């Protein structure tokens, strides 16, 4: 699994059909590759590198047998596919954009 990370650039548009903030893919920050349980990080940005090397919390939502909704937070650890997928899915919160290739 390989994930490329890019800056998420925000531009304010005041004229035309689109008005407001538009988010665009910026410059590449690097990539991460997961092969046979080993994580290879080739990222220039220290903030992104810190996110990739620490456990990442994921909130699971669902229903139990009685039909009640539940929320459970689970930590995903570096070196797992779940960790890398969770970061790729939620990296927009930190100002990045991810492109996943498998």
pTM comes to 0.79
Can you tell me which residue has the tokens 């650039």?
9
**Mean pLDDT across the chain:** 88
Phi, psi of 55 (to 5 degrees): -60, 145
Mean pLDDT of all residues in 49-69: 88
pLDDT at 14: 79
Mean pLDDT of all residues in 61-87: 88
Cα gap 22→12, rounded to integer Å: 6
At 71, the pLDDT band (50, 70, 90 cuts) reads confident
Asked if pLDDT for residue 20 goes beyond 70, the answer is yes
pLDDT at 18: 67
């Amino acid at each position: 699994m390989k994930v490329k990370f890019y800056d998420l650039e925000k531009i304010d548009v005041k004229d035309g059909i689109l008005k407001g903030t538009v988010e665009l893919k910026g410059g590449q920050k690097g990539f991460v590759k997961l092969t046979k349980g080993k994580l290879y990080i080739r990222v220039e940005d220290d903030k992104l590198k810190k996110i990739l090397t620490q456990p990442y919390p994921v909130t699971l939502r669902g229903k139990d047998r009685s039909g009640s909704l539940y929320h459970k937070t689970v930590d995903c650890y570096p070196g797992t596919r779940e960790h890398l997928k969770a970061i790729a899915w939620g990296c927009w919160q930190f100002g990045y954009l991810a492109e996943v290739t498998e």
